[in-house]
Amino acid sequence: MGGLVLFSSAAPKHGPTIGSEIDDFDLPGIDGQTISLSQYRGKIILLNFWATWCEPCKNEMPLLQGIYDSHSDQLVVIGVNSQENESDVQRFTLQNNISFPIALDASGELVRKFLVNGYPTTFMIDSQGVLRNLHIGELKPNILQGYLAELGVQ
């Protein structure tokens, strides 16, 4: 018995790779402002894909918020929430005292472009916009500190 496999030319064949520059994007933020990578050029970016229903995401939020608070002169954390209701995302960020920028990927286009297959997934991007590390799963303090040290954040 034969089968038919269809490929969509719209689907990316590969996501960002370590050592390559990350393409810019524009997404609406929960504060009504547009969020793009280019607006943070010169800073290290932790691009974190997450969901409100994801327990490991919830667990790592205080860690990400703490890093954002203590190193805001060197880095920015951008949370990307995909395909969830904006009011649910806003409620979550208020309940969890999240103040770093939260982008809304309503269509899931950025998740597909970055080939995010699970939450949380964090891309560590240097100040020149180059992907330096990728972490799939919940970040723990010692692991995150190692990534940050590689990027020159102490």
Domain 26-150 has CATH 3.40.30.10: yes
Model confidence pLDDT, tens digit, residues 93-142: 999 999 999 999 999 999 999 999 999 999 999 999 999 999 999 999 99
Residue 87's Cβ-count burial label (10 Å; 0-12, 13-18, 19+) is exposed
| pLDDT category of residue 15 using cuts at 50, 70 and 90 | confident
Q: Say if residue 35's pLDDT is above 50.
A: yes
- Cβ atoms 25, 97 nearer than 8 A: no
Give the residue extent of every domain in the chain: 26-150
| pLDDT category of residue 50 using cuts at 50, 70 and 90 | very high
User: Among all chains, which residue has been given the structure tokens 């649910």?
Assistant: 88
User: Among all chains, which residue has been given the structure tokens 């009011």?
Assistant: 87
- Cβ atoms 141, 63 nearer than 8 A: yes
pLDDT at 11: 47
What value does the mean pLDDT take over residues 60-84? 96
Q: Is the pTM of this model over 0.85?
A: yes
Distance CA 67, CA 46 (A): 10
97 phi and psi, to 5 degrees?
Answer: 50, 45
pLDDT at 13: 58
Percentage of the chain lying above the pLDDT 70 cut: 91
For residue 136, what are the β-bridge partners?
121
